[in-house]
């Protein structure tokens, strides 16, 4: 059984993280992980709910040292955690917060750093060791579990490092706005830095000004790992950011127009990752160059019957893709949305992704999405749109849409809202949109009856 080392490219005094504006050395990190591992309860599964990225990293490695499997839920909603625990009955919550959202046994991250000793060694773990169970976001249904081995996780990191840094300066400092519990965040802001010899920033900035502060605490070259939602917020706010090696985006489609604005404003490249929970990151593109994605060198796509599959070193077996793609070669494809997004209205077909793209291209629209409710018995579902557009009226948005889409796809109704119910990673779970639609529909009924 072969083993793979935890760290690559670090010396004892190398900076592995920045926290509160101060660097944390590799030897301190190893001591912190060893100390925490010794204090963990005798369990097989642990929810790592640490919000500070350095704390998450230490907790993740401590679990590996104790051969505990880290459970990474799509949200911290109490119901979600308790549903997952039904499958993993001994699971407890490891957190750096005062409390756990659900009624679970809690082990709190220690308040004090460990004492560094001279014999801090870098651990290795079996390639086949199960490191984590990652759950899908539930955007189109119930979350599903996907098992990740240590070998599969590191294979993804190695391919990403080759793609992004084969011709760029190293090492880099990584700042991320996405949670570590999300597969995208885990791969790019936690595991990739460990294997590339990069330092990560412990914060998870939410607002543009917080992001600017975090980036300024990391020496160049800097990489921003984020989402279209955060990119748009920085562009709209005209936030001045320090020099960036590049911006990496995922979790939701990024429009070429927004990518171009960000590239021009920050004098950098905006790159996108395509992937899924089951397979991890698969392919990349520079958004402004068009809708052609290129797989990592060691990943390959192929078609079998009506389904497309991906295979490579980061997956134990071929994974079926849930997206509509046009395969150009085993390593190049165009992306046209999810199968679950395809809709048929009055005999005409399109995808929710296409409609969302047109909606978000409208001047003045900050964020927006179409939603097709489930059909109730004896009724016909109609498309709904939720739009964040300060300064625009409902009629103005509809008029702009009429210029872009077939009339059969015009939303009935279109709601102007203050914000969409996005998760921390930028996703829009179907259940959250359905709940929003129900609340707004009830509000309309009350107004009509008043």
- Would you state the structure tokens that stand for residue 33, as one six-digit string? 């992980």
Neighbour count for residue 382 (Cβ, 10 Å): 13
Nearest alpha carbon to residue 110 among 123, 99, 93, 94: 94
What is the CA 267 to chain-centroid distance, rounded?
A: 24
For 103, phi and psi rounded to 5 degrees? -80, 80
380 confidence band (pLDDT: 50, 70, 90): low
Q: What average pLDDT is seen over the chain? A: 90
449 confidence band (pLDDT: 50, 70, 90): confident
- Would you state the structure tokens that stand for residue 360, as one six-digit string? 């978000």
For 265, phi and psi rounded to 5 degrees? -70, -35
CA-based R_g, the chain, Å: 22
Question: DSSP string spanning 262-314?
Answer: HHHHHTS-EEEEEEETTTEEEEEEEGGG-S-EEE-TT-EEEEETTEEEEESTT
Does the pLDDT value for residue 266 go beyond 90?
yes
Tens of pLDDT along 98-139? 888 788 999 999 989 999 987 788 999 999 999 999 987 655
Tens of pLDDT along 148-182? 999 999 999 999 999 999 888 888 899 999 999 99
Give dist(CA 95, CA 88) in Å, integer: 18
In terms of pLDDT, which residue wins out, 159 or 76? 159
Asked if residues 230 and 241 have their Cβ atoms less than 8 Å apart, the reply is no
Q: Which helix (H) or strand (E) holds 446?
A: helix 430-449
pLDDT of residue 132: 97
Does the pLDDT value for residue 142 go beyond 80?
no
Token pair 């389904």 is at which residue? 307
Q: Where are the alpha helices (DSSP H) in 50-135?
A: 53-65, 78-85
Fold topology of 3-337 = Rossmann fold (3.40.50)
pLDDT of residue 199: 94
Q: Where are the beta strands (DSSP E) in 129-279?
A: 130-135, 145-149, 173-176, 199-201, 222-226, 246-249, 270-276
pLDDT of residue 422: 86
Kind of pairing, strands 222-226 and 22-25?
Answer: unpaired
Classify 355 as helix, strand or coil. helix
In terms of pLDDT, which residue wins out, 331 or 375? 331
Tens of pLDDT along 381-438? 789 999 999 989 999 999 999 988 888 889 989 999 998 998 877 788 888 899 999 8
Nearest alpha carbon to residue 336 among 349, 320, 317: 349
Tens of pLDDT along 189-218? 999 999 999 999 999 998 999 999 999 999
Tens of pLDDT along 272-305? 999 988 899 999 999 999 989 999 999 999 999 8
Give dist(CA 254, CA 274) in Å, integer: 11
- Would you state the structure tokens that stand for residue 436, as one six-digit string? 């929003």
Residues 26-35, mean pLDDT to the nearest whole number: 96
Nearest alpha carbon to residue 72 among 182, 224, 164, 235: 182
Tens of pLDDT along 215-239? 999 999 999 999 988 998 899 899 9
Fold topology of 346-449 = GMP Synthetase; Chain A, domain 3 (3.30.300)
Sequence ranges of the domains in the chain: 3-337, 346-449
């Amino acid at each position: 059984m072969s083993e793979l080392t935890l760290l690559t490219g670090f010396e004892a005094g190398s900076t592995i993280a920045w926290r509160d504006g101060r660097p944390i050395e590799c030897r301190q990190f190893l001591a912190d992980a060893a100390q925490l591992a010794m204090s963990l309860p005798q369990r097989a599964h642990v929810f790592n709910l640490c919000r500070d990225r350095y704390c998450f990293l230490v907790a993740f490695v401590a679990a590996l040292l104790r051969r505990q499997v880290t459970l990474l839920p799509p949200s911290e909603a109490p119901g979600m955690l308790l549903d997952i625990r039904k499958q993993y009955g001994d699971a407890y919550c490891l957190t750096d917060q005062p409390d756990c959202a659900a009624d679970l046994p809690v082990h709190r991250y220690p308040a004090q750093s460990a004492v560094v000793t001279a014999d801090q060694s870098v651990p290795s773990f079996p390639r086949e060791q199960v490191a984590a169970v990652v759950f899908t976001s539930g955007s189109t249904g119930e979350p599903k579990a996907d098992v990740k081995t240590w070998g599969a996780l590191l294979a993804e990191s190695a391919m990403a490092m080759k793609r992004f840094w084969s011709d760029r300066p190293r090492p880099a400092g990584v700042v991320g706005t996405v949670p570590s519990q999300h597969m995208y965040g885990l791969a790019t802001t936690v595991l990739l830095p460990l294997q590339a010899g990069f330092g990560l920033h412990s914060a998870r900035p939410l607002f543009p000004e917080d992001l600017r502060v975090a980036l300024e605490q990391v020496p160049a070259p800097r990489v921003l790992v984020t989402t279209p939602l955060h990119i748009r917020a920085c562009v709209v706010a005209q936030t001045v950011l320090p020099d960036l090696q590049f911006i990496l985006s995922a979790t939701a489609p990024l429009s070429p127009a927004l990518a171009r604005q960000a590239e021009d404003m920050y004098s950098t490249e905006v790159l996108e990752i395509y992937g899924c929970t089951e397979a991890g990151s698969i392919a990349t593109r520079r958004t402004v160059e068009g809708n052609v994605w290129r797989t990592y060198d060691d990943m390959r796509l192929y078609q079998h019957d009506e389904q497309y599959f991906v295979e490579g070193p980061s997956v134990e077996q071929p994974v079926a893709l849930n997206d509509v793609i046009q395969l150009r070669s085993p390593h190049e494809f165009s992306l046209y949305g999810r199968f679950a997004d395809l809709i048929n209205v009055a005999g005409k077909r399109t995808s929710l992704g296409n409609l969302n793209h047109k909606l978000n291209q409208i001047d003045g629209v900050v964020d927006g999405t179409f939603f097709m409710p489930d059909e109730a018995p004896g009724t016909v579902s109609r498309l709904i749109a939720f739009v964040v557009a300060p300064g625009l009226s409902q009629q103005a948005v509809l008029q702009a849409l009429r210029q872009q889409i077939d009339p059969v796809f015009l939303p009935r109704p279109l709601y102007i809202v203050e914000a969409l119910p996005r998760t921390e990673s930028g996703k829009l779970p179907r259940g959250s949109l359905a709940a929003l639609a129900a609340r707004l529909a009830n509000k309309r009924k009350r107004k009509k009856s008043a």
